[in-house]
Chain A
Amino acid sequence: MAQFDVIILGGGPAGYVCAIRCAQLGFATAVVEKDKLGGVCVNIGCIPTKALLHSAYTANLIAATASWRPRNRSRRVAEQNSKGVEFLMKKHKVTVLKGEGSLLPGKKVKVGGETHEARKAVIIATGSRVKGIPQIGLEINKTTVISSDEALFLETLPASVSVIGAGAVGCEFADIFNAFGSKVTLIEALPRILPLEDAESSDVISKSFRKRKMDVFAGAKVTKAQVEKDKVTLTIEVGGKTETVQTEKVLMAAGRAVNTENMGFKEAGVQLDQRGFVKVNLATLETTAPGVYCIGDVAGPPMLAHKGSREGVFVAELLAGHKPHPIRYDNVPSVTYCHPEVASIGLTEDQCKEKKLDYQVGRFPFSANGRARASNETEGLVKIIRDKKYGEILGAHIVASHASEMIHELAVARENEYTVEEVDLAIHAHPTLSEAIAEAALDSMGRVLHI
């Protein structure tokens, strides 16, 4: 029986980052991975989609339709990144145990026929996967009803696609297929697309998508699905009317299921909560089994790679006896990489209303920003919600061509408790898109300059 200090189940962005930090802190560390290192994010998630989105973006820029060939580039990027993780494991002397791992009672992990024992801790980082809606006949069949997993491997571009679910994944794929020339129908059950984002952000994206000739149905319910060999016919109810949408493929982008089955969790004393996530003590991320920790998607929302990575570092430092900075879950930025991009941190305006907070909104549209005009990317705005009394940044929402890169100014501000005034005090270079952040901060104080 091989012994390690720490054994991590899963080599995704939570697991492998945790492994690196554990190794840095002097632990003998092992990562169990059944597939490729890097997990969903690197192989069939964040990274390859961003390669496609880049191609879509370039195509949009020159108002051309890109050929579906860039798909090859997307695979190449994914493979490079997975290799990169392999290299990092080697560099930090982390043992990679290839195969399906399962938990045994008493901090033991079984991989293949072998049992490995962890002296300090076992860390669950088994992640999540796509899921279909079998209740209405939409089981993922990988041919006509596909998930993002299959979408990335399509040999040919479908002429038409229905995307079910308009969260981050749905909007990104709608954007990709549209840019490559598919006829896209985007369907969301909740009253607006990007339902977790601020209503104004949803609005901008909805308009932008419609302008690009996508059919966008929000508040729509799929009541029937007729799956055939080469097409799918969906019946949807929207606004009291019944519509029929027939497309070559349906992409399921409505939620994810966590990987908790058939890995001996129950037998090892690891309990799940009502929503199916592993139950953890939020202060330590320890599960109901002593010495077993849980990080990443499987530990609870938000299901985001960067949240998982941070949890991995947090647990590693906790195990080393450090006092890691507590994770503020309301301070995890969320980004949707459609065009324009949507990025946010903190509360939406609706949430501020619900909480009856005394707030003031500051806005700055990119139509008034020099850099945005120069690059002809004037869609979107920066919206900052300021606490009226102390100027605390309650929430920040950016819709912009490079919103994903801009949100971190506000992430730094929020994590360090800067107020809108500190954001304004920082001198913003001209001409940049980030100037809109400073202007929105000023606007929240009633002092906007360039409007």
Chain B
Amino acid sequence: MATKVLMEALSPTMEEGRLVEWKKKEGDTVSAGDVLAEVETDKAVMDLVARAGGTLLKQLVTAGTTVPVAEVVAVIGQPGEEVAVEKPAGAKAAAPAPVAPPAPAAQVAAPAAPAPSAAPQTAPAPRPSERIKASPLARKIATERGVDLALVQGSGPDGRIVIKDLESARSGRVAPTAAPAAGAAVAMAPGEAYRDVPLSQIRKTIAKRLVQSIGPVPTFYLTTEVDMERVWDAREALNAGGRKGAEGESPKISFNDIVIKAVASALRQHPACNAWWQEDHIRYWNEVHVSMAVAVEEGLITPVIRYTDQKTLRQISLESRDLAARARERRLTPNEYSGGTFSVSNLGMFDIDQFTAVINPPEAGILAVGTIEQKAVVHEGALVPRRRMRITMSCDHRVIDGATGAAFLRTLKTMLENPLALVW
């Protein structure tokens, strides 16, 4: 008699698993205990083993497919035996709709984890209501590869997505196992504006848990104190040295300009912090666009300095002055205050020692900058007065993990303490 092979709950919290690779082919002889396939759970990649011996008659899902727990993925039986099993309805590759909400099977695994509230465990991720034009073939391929068609630019008639448009995704090989681990470097080709990385199971689990715990944007904070003596001297020197340049007379360079420049340079080194949370994937930006919080009469607005990392301090200074002035006059156009990849908020001028800033979604991080004040610190073995500044980074934990944020902050601190690094 044929035995159905089910997607098993390989961890207590597992609701679905991605079949990474088949270890047995159709027609292979298997005995109980043999590894049939590798499955990526919410925590790790684990083995799916055969519970019965015989011949692997049929694989019902292809590698790369995400399958809810308790769905049939294969059939083991005697050679020549009739296989009367339909494809699993819940398997995403087989479903006709782009995304099937996790099947009721999800509840099978639920008892293991204490439900914190009576609210439904999982709601399908919000989808753009607009219909996506895509050819059936492109849909099938995208579904199997986990490519979100909403993010693909169509080249067919009237922007219809055709196979050709998936080619980059095809060659980019954003394979299931290639999803970056926390803090892993995101390698990008020059000229590429950003790269969308599908969520790995562990990323999904982190996101779901954290949202349940804190709220829609699960934030944590990292604070450090920066020695600003050298920046102080550098700024004095720059402002004293004449402000005439190619762009005309420039205003005095502010500490905030220097912080923005340093943040942009540090982001270039830490693309994992220069990212957007996009519900079902993370968009890692290759371009750096720093938003700066500007207080205006009726509240707050965050104009964006585009390609911040490629601009000189003088350009940043001129541009931030102009943006802030026009922000206060309410003369900014929408594209001037949207599209940032990271924010900087500075309350130093209000003598605030340190504070936490609220993340500006979909950005994943914001830096809160406090005032510079002289403090007694131990410097080179002696107690001396030094100019110090406290900075606090708010991180969206779904994108940035503690160590990732800390590494970024360390780079930023080093840059500010050695401002020559900015021209390095």
Q: CB within 8 Å of B: which residues of A?
A: 325, 389-392, 416-419, 421-422
**Contact partner of B136 among A325, A389, A417, CB < 8 A?**
A417
Contact B157 A390 (CB under 8 A): no
**Closest CB in chain A relative to B199 CB, distance in Å:** 24
**Contact partner of A421 among B62, B136, B138, B163, CB < 8 A?**
B136
Contact A392 B157 (CB under 8 A): no
**Contact partner of A418 among B62, B137, B157, CB < 8 A?**
B137
Contact A419 B136 (CB under 8 A): yes
Contact B140 A418 (CB under 8 A): no
Chain A residue nearest to B134 in the complex (CB):
A417
B292 at the interface (CB under 8 A from A): no
Contact A417 B135 (CB under 8 A): yes
Residues of A within 8 A of B162 (CB): 417
Residues of A within 8 A of B141 (CB): 390
**Contact partner of A389 among B62, B138, B156, B163, CB < 8 A?**
B62
A246 to B139, CA, bound (A): 59
Residues of B within 8 A of A389 (CB): 62
A418 to B162, CA, bound (A): 10
Residues of B within 8 A of A416 (CB): 135
Chain A residue nearest to B135 in the complex (CB):
A417
Contact B157 A417 (CB under 8 A): no
A-B contact pairs, 12 of them (CB 8 A): A325-B156, A389-B62, A390-B137, A390-B141, A390-B144, A416-B135, A417-B162, A417-B163, A418-B136, A418-B137, A419-B137, A421-B136
A178 to B226, CA, bound (A): 97
A418 to B136, CA, bound (A): 5
Task: Render B130-167 as a binary contact track against A, CB cut-off 8 A, 1 for contact.
Answer: 00000111101100100000000000110000110000
Residues of A within 8 A of B136 (CB): 417-419, 421-422
A155 to B163, CA, bound (A): 54
Chain B residue nearest to A421 in the complex (CB):
B136
Specify the main secondary structure of chain B where it touches its partner: helix
Contact A417 B137 (CB under 8 A): yes
Contact A419 B140 (CB under 8 A): yes
A390 to B137, CA, bound (A): 7
Residues of B within 8 A of A391 (CB): 137, 140
Task: Render B47-66 as a binary contact track against A, CB cut-off 8 A, 1 for contact.
Answer: 00000000000000010000
A240 to B352, CA, bound (A): 100
Please give 19 more A-B residue pairs, beta carbons under 8 A apart, in addition to A417-B137, A421-B136.
A325-B156, A325-B157, A389-B62, A390-B137, A390-B140, A390-B141, A390-B144, A391-B137, A391-B140, A416-B135, A417-B135, A417-B162, A417-B163, A418-B135, A418-B136, A418-B137, A419-B136, A419-B137, A419-B140
Contact status of A392 and B62, CB under 8 A, knowing A325-B157, A417-B162? no
A421 to B96, CA, bound (A): 11
A252 to B412, CA, bound (A): 81
Residues of B within 8 A of A392 (CB): 137
A421 to B139, CA, bound (A): 13
A418 to B135, CA, bound (A): 7
> Which residues of B155-212 are within 8 A (CB) of A?
156-157, 162-163
Interface residue count on the B side (C-beta < 8 Å): 12
Query: Which of A325, A389, A416, A417 neighbours the largest number of chain B CB atoms within 10 Å of its CB?
Result: A417
Residues of A within 8 A of B157 (CB): 325
A225 to B144, CA, bound (A): 61
A255 to B135, CA, bound (A): 38
Chain B residue nearest to A413 in the complex (CB):
B136
A419 to B163, CA, bound (A): 12
Chain B residue nearest to A417 in the complex (CB):
B135
**Closest CB in chain B relative to A395 CB, distance in Å:** 15
A417 to B134, CA, bound (A): 9
A391 to B136, CA, bound (A): 10
Contact B62 A417 (CB under 8 A): no
Residues of A within 8 A of B135 (CB): 416-418
Residues of B within 8 A of A421 (CB): 136
Chain A residue nearest to B155 in the complex (CB):
A326
Chain A residue nearest to B96 in the complex (CB):
A421
A410 to B65, CA, bound (A): 29
Chain A residue nearest to B137 in the complex (CB):
A417
Chain B residue nearest to A414 in the complex (CB):
B137
Chain B residue nearest to A389 in the complex (CB):
B62
Residues of B within 8 A of A419 (CB): 136-137, 140
A174 to B140, CA, bound (A): 45
**Closest CB in chain B relative to A224 CB, distance in Å:** 52
Residues of B within 8 A of A417 (CB): 135-138, 162-163
> Which residues of B55-113 are within 8 A (CB) of A?
62
**Closest CB in chain B relative to A68 CB, distance in Å:** 48
**Closest CB in chain A relative to B184 CB, distance in Å:** 30
Residues of B within 8 A of A390 (CB): 137, 140-141, 144
**Closest CB in chain A relative to B98 CB, distance in Å:** 15
Chain A residue nearest to B162 in the complex (CB):
A417
Chain A residue nearest to B161 in the complex (CB):
A417
**Closest CB in chain B relative to A414 CB, distance in Å:** 10
Residues of A within 8 A of B156 (CB): 325
Chain A residue nearest to B140 in the complex (CB):
A390
A390 to B93, CA, bound (A): 10
**Closest CB in chain A relative to B331 CB, distance in Å:** 36
**Closest CB in chain B relative to A46 CB, distance in Å:** 28
**Closest CB in chain B relative to A344 CB, distance in Å:** 20
A422 to B157, CA, bound (A): 19
Chain B residue nearest to A425 in the complex (CB):
B136
A317 to B136, CA, bound (A): 28
A371 to B156, CA, bound (A): 37
A392 to B135, CA, bound (A): 11
Residues of A within 8 A of B137 (CB): 390-392, 417-419
**Closest CB in chain B relative to A396 CB, distance in Å:** 15
A419 to B141, CA, bound (A): 11
**Closest CB in chain A relative to B197 CB, distance in Å:** 23
**Closest CB in chain A relative to B64 CB, distance in Å:** 11
A418 to B144, CA, bound (A): 16
A26 to B15, CA, bound (A): 61
A416 to B137, CA, bound (A): 9
A392 to B138, CA, bound (A): 10
A5 to B136, CA, bound (A): 41
A417 to B144, CA, bound (A): 16
**Closest CB in chain B relative to A24 CB, distance in Å:** 19
A390 to B64, CA, bound (A): 14
Query: Which of B137, B157, B163 neighbours the largest number of chain A CB atoms within 10 Å of its CB?
Result: B137
Residues of A within 8 A of B140 (CB): 390-391, 419
A421 to B156, CA, bound (A): 21
Residues of B within 8 A of A418 (CB): 135-137
Chain B residue nearest to A391 in the complex (CB):
B140
A392 to B163, CA, bound (A): 11
Chain B residue nearest to A323 in the complex (CB):
B155
Residues of B within 8 A of A422 (CB): 136
Residues of A within 8 A of B144 (CB): 390
**Cβ-closest 4 pairs across A and B:** A417-B135, A417-B137, A390-B140, A422-B136
Chain B residue nearest to A392 in the complex (CB):
B137
A417 to B156, CA, bound (A): 11
**Closest CB in chain B relative to A148 CB, distance in Å:** 37
A418 to B140, CA, bound (A): 10
Chain A residue nearest to B163 in the complex (CB):
A417
A391 to B163, CA, bound (A): 13
Residues of B within 8 A of A325 (CB): 156-157
**Closest CB in chain A relative to B92 CB, distance in Å:** 15
Chain B residue nearest to A393 in the complex (CB):
B137
A378 to B74, CA, bound (A): 41
Chain A residue nearest to B160 in the complex (CB):
A416
Chain A residue nearest to B156 in the complex (CB):
A325
**Closest CB in chain B relative to A424 CB, distance in Å:** 12
Residues of A within 8 A of B138 (CB): 417
A180 to B62, CA, bound (A): 57
A185 to B163, CA, bound (A): 46
Residues of A within 8 A of B163 (CB): 417
**Closest CB in chain A relative to B264 CB, distance in Å:** 37
**Closest CB in chain B relative to A115 CB, distance in Å:** 40
